[in-house]
């Protein structure tokens, strides 16, 4: 599957020649819903079928980006406090700091961050949210199991383990 801003996560067969994607075809591996019902094969839309170009696009995001103001505040707090969760709490619980990074929303200003730092910030935010407000304040979403049960189960299992609220593709 590939991310085309779609929650369907339909499966695709990707064909590669000399290391370059040459074409895509809809996967036909979805389970049958019974002999008395029509099959829903194949799945996949034109958006998914035309997605291969994005792999090679110069506009493709290849690294994590964080709002500059937020990253600056987090780094300062982390250097001072040494602990990621305490650093995150220092930023989000301080009204002036929270106002600074929230008022920057919608104005761009994203800066490239290291992968480890972006993951650390996300983890610290999860832990802080759970400590401050309880685990049910963390809501998760995992694609429908159309692509594979494994892709669905990973997200669902994580949210279940931390006590969060799992949303479904069908909750709208």
Residues 72 and 129 in one domain: yes
Nearest C-alpha neighbor of 26 from the set 47, 39, 3, 43 = 43
Q: Which two tokens stand for residue 11?
A: 């499966």
Same domain, yes or no: 123 and 157 = no
Residue 63 in this model has a pLDDT that exceeds 50: yes
Residues 70 and 129 both lie in one domain: yes
Task: Say if residue 134's pLDDT is above 70.
Answer: yes
Q: Are residues 147 and 123 in the same domain?
A: no
Q: What is the pTM of this model?
A: 0.74
130 vs 31, higher pLDDT: 130
Considering all CA atoms of the chain, what is the largest pairwise distance in Å, rounded to the nearest integer? 65
For residue 143, give its domain range: 137-167
- In 3D space, the residue among 142, 66, 63 whose CA is nearest the CA of residue 111 turns out to be 66
């Amino acid at each position: 599957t590939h991310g085309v801003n779609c929650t369907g996560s339909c499966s695709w067969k990707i064909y590669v020649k000399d290391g370059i994607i040459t074409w895509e075809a809809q996967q036909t591996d979805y389970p049958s819903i019974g002999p008395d019902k029509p099959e829903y094969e194949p799945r996949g839309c034109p958006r998914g079928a035309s997605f291969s170009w994005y792999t090679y696009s110069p506009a493709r995001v290849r690294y994590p980006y964080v709002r500059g103001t937020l990253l600056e505040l987090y780094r300062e707090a982390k250097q001072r406090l040494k602990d990621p969760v305490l650093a995150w709490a220092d930023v989000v619980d301080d009204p002036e700091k929270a106002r600074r990074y929230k008022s920057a929303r919608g104005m761009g200003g994203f800066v490239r961050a290291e992968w480890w730092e972006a993951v650390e910030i996300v983890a610290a935010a999860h832990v802080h949210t759970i400590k401050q407000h309880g685990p049910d304040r963390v809501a998760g979403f995992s694609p429908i199991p159309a692509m594979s049960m494994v892709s669905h189960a990973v997200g669902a299992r994580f949210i279940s383990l931390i006590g969060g609220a799992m949303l479904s593709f069908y909750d709208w």
